[in-house]
């Protein structure tokens, strides 16, 4: 589930190209028609669309701006995962699985409305401090 985050990096498959002076790389979401129609079945099986003559895209194809190397933002991803473990009161996947099995941690499904309510809202404006902005 990190395709869009990794798309446009040096390590992602595909060649860079320029459009209107911007360096881009093609992006094909796994639910896109391009991915589902790829020779050999592509992602059609994943979306239960193997035997369908009409396939409805559940993703998009397009282009993303050059993000440089994944090595630039990987430390931020790692730190984010560590913060997530800290927020749950665990320090590893093993302890998370154990706490879940013991009933000490439970996960719940949150609606889009609950997610909106749980984030920053009702402010005229706010600033989010992000050290990495996706540009090299």
Q: Is 131 helix (H, G, I), strand (E, B) or coil?
A: coil
Ranges of the chain whose pLDDT falls below 70: 29-60, 129-136
Q: Which of 68, 73, 74 is nearest to 23 (CA)?
A: 68
- Looking at residue 52, its pLDDT comes to 63
pLDDT digits (tens, 9 = 90+) for 9-46: 999 988 999 999 999 998 876 665 666 566 555 555 55
- Looking at residue 27, its pLDDT comes to 81
- Looking at residue 136, its pLDDT comes to 46
**pTM above 0.85?**
no
- Both tokens assigned to 15: 């060649």
């Amino acid at each position: 589930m990190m395709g869009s985050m990794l798309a446009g990096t040096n390590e992602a498959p595909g060649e860079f190209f320029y459009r209107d002076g911007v360096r881009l790389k093609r992006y094909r979401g796994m639910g896109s028609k391009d991915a589902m129609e790829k020779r050999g079945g592509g992602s059609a099986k994943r979306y239960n669309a193997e035997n369908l003559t009409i396939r409805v895209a559940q993703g998009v194809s397009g282009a993303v701006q050059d993000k440089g190397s994944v090595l630039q933002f990987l430390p931020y991803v790692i730190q984010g995962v560590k913060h997530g473990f800290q927020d749950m009161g665990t320090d590893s996947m093993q302890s998370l699985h154990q706490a879940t099995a013991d009933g000490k941690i439970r996960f719940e499904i949150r609606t889009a409305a609950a997610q909106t309510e749980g984030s920053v809202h009702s402010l005229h404006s706010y600033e989010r401090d992000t050290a990495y902005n996706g540009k090299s």
